[in-house]
Amino acid sequence: MSGEVLKRARYKTSVKDSGVAGVLKMTEDKFVFMPNDPTSSARFDVEFRFIKGHKFSKGGSNKPALLNLTQDSEKGGGYIFEFENYPDREVCREFVGRALAKFSEASKAGSEQSAVKLFDEQLSTIEMERRIKLLREDSELQKLHKQFVLSGVLTEAEFWATRKKLLDGNTSRTSKQRVGFKSAMISDLKPLTDGRTNRVTFNLTPEIIHQIFAEKPAVHQAFLNFVPNKMTEKDFWNKYCRAEYLHCTRNTVAAAAEAAEDEELAVFLKHDDILANEARRKIRRVDPTLDMEADQGDDYMHLPDHGIFRDGSKEIIDPQYEQYRRTLSQDLNRHAAVVLEGRPIDVELEDTRTVAEALAKSKRVEAANEKSDGSVTRERLERISRMTEIEDLQAPRDLPFAALCIKDPRDYFDSQQANALKTLGDTLAGSKQIKCSLSTQEAYGSLRGFISEIKSVGLSDPIVKPDIALKVLNGLTQNISSTKFHLGKNPQESVLDRLPIITKEELLHHWTSIQELLRHFWSSYPITTTYLYTKASRLKDAMSQIYPKLQEIKESVQSDFRHQVSLLVQPMLQALDAAFAHYDADQQKRSARSGERPNGFV
Amino acid sequence: EDEDEGNGLDAWERAYADERSWESLQEDESGLLRPIDNKTIYHAQYRRRIRTTARIQKGLIRYLYIVVDLSRAASEMDFKPSRMAVVAKHIEAFIREFFDQNPLSQIGLVTIKDGLAQCLTDLGGSPDSHVKALMGKLECSGDSSLQNALDLVHGYLNQIPSYGHREVLILYSALSTCDPGDIMETIQECKKSKIRCSVIGLSAEIFICRHLCQETGGSYSVALDESHFKELLLEHAPPPPAIAEFAIANLIKMGFPQRAAEGVISICSCHKEAKVGGGYTCPRCKARVCELPTECRICGLTLVSSPHLARSYHHLFPIPPFDEVSLSLNNPHQRSSRACFGCQESLLIPGNKPTLCVACPKCKQHFCLDCDIYIHESLHNCPGCESFR
């Protein structure tokens, strides 16, 4: 997207012309128009070097989207293209703007181009569209964009850098977050039973299927093996649900009977061998300080139900049906273990097959990692040594606090003063330094003398003369009350509303552009690279252009509003002055530091 | 074991059977009940709160994220009317107290719902916007995920400058966390980024929360009831001690703007409206801002006024705890100090019995228990010492 643009367009010699249909292709240094009709002569291959500017028609439902690439303004002539819709035109316009900006900058300083290219972004279409949409919706933003970016004062990147919030907008960060497995056991399917028709309905969502595969590796394996070779997915889930139903009824005899008939069903009814193997392997790797008695029921080798008796008596089951029993505690523990492990895959849960395969792949990767990871044993030993210390007897592992150490603030001010004196000393040559020294006795004596004098005579030269003070206070009171009076008693009405609309718009527009420029100006200090240096000078030039415009407004407005307008314009001028002063001071410092180097290059 | 239980009675039963708590109720002359004197209890609590006066660094410029758990468990009604409502109410009080004690700091809000974490408000210094945003979004559903919340906060806090103290306060109602990955890794990342995570639980103590707080140097506590919750929450308002390996000393540039003259009209940079008088001008770029403390929108300078700094500064130099003394009337030196120096209330209870009061070790003035709490927690200046200057 950054390299070239390809759009359908019609080439027109004038606005009224019907135009020749074709394809417009723009690259960074030139644009090419190829008409659909090969016999037509409207074929162009023009470099952007020759294009001085571009104009475009305003938006409107019936108006065509025109883009006019003008050549030399004196000679006239240019290329008018009409696009099918506004987004197309906007994209081309942006592209042209950027290309032109690059060319105009390239003519200024050749070495800057490399710096600018560094900041050339790779924009995705989504980004571009979002920007165009924002520009279209907010006319103020569009005005600013037109004023600064298209005239080369700011680059696209800089303009949008301060508006990241607007761009991010809907693509919030939550879309990058993943949800863990639910803590509710949704894999434990509870069917809806219809008493009349004796039908049992199970509801399977992709989330549930994902959890079933994660918790029951035997079912997962069976799915990969059976579907789609031996049976369809629907059949698979039918059998699975039948098995669940049999478990619900806790009828182990019926379960055994059905398992004997149907081999595939048996897979779902019997104990999960894969799980048993995994569990046994894990138990062997646990560190020896952990009490594993409660977990013995999970490995399918020992007592089921963890030795807990139901109703105080043991359930007697025929050993041949032993393997068709499933206990709630085993299911709960398995579910909890899976939830704590986290969600291994990120795949969209639509197709069961993809889910199954992704899960299998992640398990293989994990197994491979485990085998090759030699640090596992080291980690285990570390953990064992940490766990052998009984927690209650360990010292608190609080992180130590930082001690308070306050430096004498005079050090800072003294060093600053030394710096200031040094710079002053450089520029003001020939000023003599007068050294004075008084002994403590002398200082004390003179102070005492003054105090006794004032005690007897009183202050002869008061700091504030009473009559002058009165005059000043009166003047101020009048000033403030008159301002408030002129503004009227209505608190809702603001000063701006009382001005004629044109003036108000102009003032607000200037204000927003000044804010934008100032923000970029101040953010480029302290200047560390040549890019920032050129940026600062660019901005300063733009600001110096606005300065006289503000003066003009002051003069152009009617006399009754002149006072208020000048009051409003005053802070803006002050802000600009502050920026200019800072710029000049910085320039001086640079030239002083680097001597006679041209252009202030660092 | 039977002796410990005391004839099979629980502790709360014993309070009635053995200790006869109703006898501490008293009636005054007109037959109305006198309020039970809780002063000594509060005072004991407050004395426990005062830590040593060793000079330690404290995080004065804090960037705190409050994570509110809005999962299914927040709709439980063991806190009346529901956990979520209680939490919201106290967060409002906490935010105001926080900005009172830490004017240079900023707060952001994050919620956890349906296993995902969302940023409710960005880091900012105005209390009203946070409270408003929270009150508008009080619905709970789904699971709670600690890892997602920590990841989100970690992403935001990584962007703040190094002189700021990064903190997270998690108000956790759920008993579990359903995470998409390894939460231990997230905890290690938070520790590396120097984020201090504290948790206040509303249901029961959870190992992962304790582990998180231990690793990052925060504090973990579980609230027993609403007033306890409020206490635990307000404990996080004063700045915490800075941990040695996290603290970096920096020089920070700040501006002290002057108040604009009354007659000046200018367009303020925060509201885009023309305002008359009032407001402050940034000393560097001369833009107008409406309130302090804030960051100048044009040049990015932190703008504060000196009272804000003073309010932060006194946390570093806390008043030494007052000594407990008991007034005895026979001592001639103490005859003059029968009234509290702060509020002038009499220190003697009727019957002329000696009562408990405290005295400042430096100026030796006597204060009552209420004034002691007030001086140490809100005023941060001893009136006796100040009046001698």
> Tens of pLDDT along A283-294?
777 766 666 666
- The larger pLDDT score, comparing residue A567 to residue A65, is at A567
Residue B46, domain member (yes or no): no
| CB spacing of A180 vs B182 below 8 angstroms | no
**Residues facing residue A74 across a β-bridge:** none
The shortest CB-CB distance from B181 to any of A342, A519, A579 is to: A342
Domain stops at, among B300, B316, B332: B316
Q: DSSP string covering A73-127, please?
A: TTT--EEEEEESSHHHHHHHHHHHHHHHHHHHHHHH-TTHHHHHHHT-----HHH
Min Cα distance B109 → chain A (Å) is 15
Express each pLDDT in A371-403 by its tens digit.
666 666 777 777 777 667 776 777 776 777 777
Torsion angle of C-alpha atoms B200, B202, B207, B213, degrees rounded to 10: 0
Angle at B95 between CA B93 and CA B100, to 5 degrees: 95
Angle at A557 between CA A552 and CA A562, to 5 degrees: 100
CATH architecture under which domain A5-110 falls: Roll (2.30)
Q: What is the pLDDT of residue A95?
A: 76
Residues B347 and B265 in one domain: no
Q: In which element (H, E) is residue A575 found? A: helix A559-594
Chain A, nearest residue to B283 by Cα: A578
Phi-psi label, residue A290: left if phi above 0, alpha if psi -120 to 50, beta otherwise: beta
The shortest CB-CB distance from A483 to any of B217, B276, B285 is to: B276
Q: Does the pLDDT at position A256 exceed 70?
A: yes
Residues of chain A above pLDDT 90, percent:
1
Min Cα distance B318 → chain A (Å) is 13
Count how many residues are written for chain A. Answer: 602
Residues with Cβ < 8 Å from A12, sequence gap 6 or more? A18, A19, A20, A66, A80, A81, A82
**Token pair listed for B279:** 């407001």
Domain ranges, residue B308: 258-316
Question: Chain B partners of A487 at a C-beta cutoff of 8 Å?
Answer: 276
Q: What is the pLDDT of residue B200?
A: 96
Residue B69, domain member (yes or no): yes
Report the alpha-carbon distance of residue B26 to residue B34 in Å, rounded.
6
Min Cα distance B205 → chain A (Å) is 16
- A-B CB pairs within 8 A amount to 155
Cα distances (Å, whole numbers) of residue B233 to A424, B86, B113: 54, 12, 21
Residues B298 and B368 in one domain: no
Min Cα distance B294 → chain A (Å) is 16
CA-atom Rg of chain A in angstroms: 41
Which range, A2-11, A199-208, A285-294, B12-21, is most confident?
A199-208
Q: Does B182 touch chain A (CB under 8 A)?
A: yes
Report the alpha-carbon distance of residue A512 to residue B297 in Å, rounded.
12
| CB spacing of A483 vs B176 below 8 angstroms | no
Residues B122 and B187 in one domain: yes
| Averaged pLDDT for residues B310-314 | 83
Q: Does the pLDDT at position A579 exceed 80?
A: yes
- The larger pLDDT score, comparing residue A365 to residue A313, is at A365
Q: What is the pLDDT of residue A120?
A: 45
Min Cα distance B303 → chain A (Å) is 15
Residues B382 and B265 in one domain: no
Q: Does the pLDDT at position B112 exceed 80?
A: yes
The shortest CB-CB distance from A480 to any of B55, B262, B298 is to: B262
Work out the end-to-end distance of chain B between its first and last CA atoms, rounded to an integer number of angstroms.
60
| CB spacing of A177 vs B276 below 8 angstroms | no
- The larger pLDDT score, comparing residue B14 to residue B214, is at B214
Q: Is the dihedral of CA A440, A443, A446, A450 positive or negative?
A: negative
Q: Does B217 touch chain A (CB under 8 A)?
A: yes
| CB spacing of B57 vs A180 below 8 angstroms | no
Residue B50, domain member (yes or no): no
Q: Does B118 touch chain A (CB under 8 A)?
A: yes
| CB spacing of B180 vs A177 below 8 angstroms | yes
Where are the alpha helices (H) located in A286-408, listed in sequence order?
A: 328-341, 352-372, 375-387
Residue B311, domain member (yes or no): yes
Residue with tokens 């042209």: A96
Q: Does B262 touch chain A (CB under 8 A)?
A: yes
CB A516 within 8 A of CB A579: no
Q: How many other β-carbons are positioned within 10 Å of the β-carbon of residue A520?
A: 22
Q: What is the pLDDT of residue A36?
A: 77
Q: How many other β-carbons are positioned within 10 Å of the β-carbon of residue A431?
A: 9
The shortest CB-CB distance from A402 to any of B148, B180, B243 is to: B243
Query: What is the number of domains present in chain B?
Result: 3
Residues with Cβ < 8 Å from B56, sequence gap 6 or more? A401, A402, A403, A404, B241, B242
The shortest CB-CB distance from A183 to any of B152, B176, B281 is to: B176
**Token pair listed for A88:** 């197309």
| CB spacing of A404 vs B273 below 8 angstroms | no
Chain B, nearest residue to A487 by Cα: B276
Reduced to 3 states (helix: H, G, I; strand: E, B; else coil), residue A530 is helix
Report the alpha-carbon distance of residue B82 to residue A427 in Å, rounded.
71
Q: Does the pLDDT at position B386 exceed 60?
A: yes
| CB spacing of B273 vs A494 below 8 angstroms | yes
- The larger pLDDT score, comparing residue B340 to residue A379, is at B340
| Averaged pLDDT for residues B255-261 | 86
Phi-psi label, residue A395: left if phi above 0, alpha if psi -120 to 50, beta otherwise: beta
Which range, A232-246, B128-142, B305-319, is most confident?
B128-142
Identify which of A211, A189, A213 has the alpha carbon closest to the alpha carbon of residue A201: A189
Question: Chain A partners of B258 at a C-beta cutoff of 8 Å?
Answer: none
Confidence of residue B93 (pLDDT cuts 50, 70, 90): very high
Q: Does the pLDDT at position A492 exceed 80?
A: no
Residues B305 and B335 in one domain: no
Report the alpha-carbon distance of residue A90 to residue A19 in Å, rounded.
19
Residues B74 and B115 in one domain: yes
Residues B229 and B147 in one domain: yes
The shortest CB-CB distance from A402 to any of B57, B151, B265 is to: B57
Q: What is the pLDDT of residue B94?
A: 96
pTM of the entire structure? 0.71
Residues B73 and B205 in one domain: yes
Q: In whole numbers, what is the pLDDT of chain A averaged over residues?
A: 73
Min Cα distance A600 → chain B (Å) is 23
CB B175 within 8 A of CB B181: no
CB A169 within 8 A of CB A313: no
Residues B162 and B197 in one domain: yes
Count how many residues are written for chain B. Answer: 389
| Averaged pLDDT for residues A437-453 | 87
Residue B85, domain member (yes or no): yes
| CB spacing of B274 vs A343 below 8 angstroms | no
Min Cα distance A371 → chain B (Å) is 20
Reduced to 3 states (helix: H, G, I; strand: E, B; else coil), residue B302 is strand
Q: Does the ipTM surpass 0.90?
A: no
Q: What is the pLDDT of residue A535?
A: 82
The shortest CB-CB distance from A180 to any of B115, B119, B286 is to: B115
| CB spacing of A571 vs B266 below 8 angstroms | yes
Question: Chain B partners of A568 at a C-beta cutoff of 8 Å?
Answer: 265-267, 274
Give Cα A311 distance to the centre of its chain: 59
Confidence of residue A488 (pLDDT cuts 50, 70, 90): low
Q: Does B147 touch chain A (CB under 8 A)?
A: yes
Amino acid at A546: I
Identify which of A307, A389, A294 has the alpha carbon closest to the alpha carbon of residue A336: A294
Question: Chain A partners of B272 at a C-beta cutoff of 8 Å?
Answer: 508, 512
Report the alpha-carbon distance of residue A587 to residue A533 in Å, rounded.
10
| Averaged pLDDT for residues A590-598 | 68
Q: Is A419 exposed, middle or buried (0-12, 13-18, 19+ CB in 10 A)?
A: exposed
Q: In whole numbers, what is the pLDDT of chain B averaged over residues?
A: 84
Confidence of residue A313 (pLDDT cuts 50, 70, 90): very low
Give Cα A173 distance to the centre of its chain: 8
| CB spacing of B143 vs A180 below 8 angstroms | yes
Q: Does the pLDDT at position A242 exceed 50?
A: yes
Q: Which of residues 195-214 of B touch A (CB under 8 A)?
A: 214
Residue B12, domain member (yes or no): no
Q: In which element (H, E) is residue A12 found? A: strand A4-12
Phi-psi label, residue A342: left if phi above 0, alpha if psi -120 to 50, beta otherwise: left
Q: Does the pLDDT at position B13 exceed 90?
A: no
Residue with tokens 């001369």: B286
Residues B330 and B304 in one domain: no
Identify which of B165, B145, B134 has the alpha carbon closest to the alpha carbon of residue B315: B165
The shortest CB-CB distance from A403 to any of B56, B263, B284 is to: B56
| Averaged pLDDT for residues A542-563 | 80
Mutate to test the interface with B, among A168, A518, A580 (most CBs of B within 10 A): A518
**Residues facing residue A199 across a β-bridge:** A194
Which range, A209-213, A396-400, B2-6, B380-384, is most confident?
B380-384
Residues of chain A above pLDDT 70, percent:
71
Q: Does the pLDDT at position B53 exceed 60?
A: no
Lowest mean pLDDT segment, chosen from A365-379, A400-414, B19-33, B314-328: A365-379
Q: What is the pLDDT of residue B64?
A: 95
Residue B283, domain member (yes or no): yes
Question: Chain B partners of A515 at a C-beta cutoff of 8 Å?
Answer: 269, 287, 297-298
Is omega for the bond preceding A38 within 30 degrees of 0, making it cis?
Answer: no
Question: Chain B partners of A401 at a C-beta cutoff of 8 Å?
Answer: 56-57, 241-244
Q: Does B248 touch chain A (CB under 8 A)?
A: no
The shortest CB-CB distance from B178 to any of A339, A515, A523 is to: A339
The shortest CB-CB distance from B285 to any of A403, A511, A522 is to: A522
| CB spacing of A571 vs B281 below 8 angstroms | yes
| Averaged pLDDT for residues A206-230 | 82
Report the alpha-carbon distance of residue B302 to residue B304 in Å, rounded.
7
| CB spacing of A574 vs B286 below 8 angstroms | yes
Residue B169, domain member (yes or no): yes
**The domain spanning residue B341 has which CATH number?**
3.30.40.10
Amino acid at A452: S
Residues B101 and B124 in one domain: yes
Min Cα distance A4 → chain B (Å) is 35
Mutate to test the interface with A, among B178, B194, B250, B273 (most CBs of A within 10 A): B178
Identify which of A93, A85, A41 has the alpha carbon closest to the alpha carbon of residue A69: A93
| CB spacing of B176 vs A487 below 8 angstroms | no
Q: What backbone phi and psi angles, to 5 degrees, belong to A82?
A: -110, 130
Q: What backbone phi and psi angles, to 5 degrees, belong to B311?
A: -65, -30
Residues B195 and B283 in one domain: no
Q: Which of residues 293-322 of B touch A (CB under 8 A)?
A: 297-300, 316
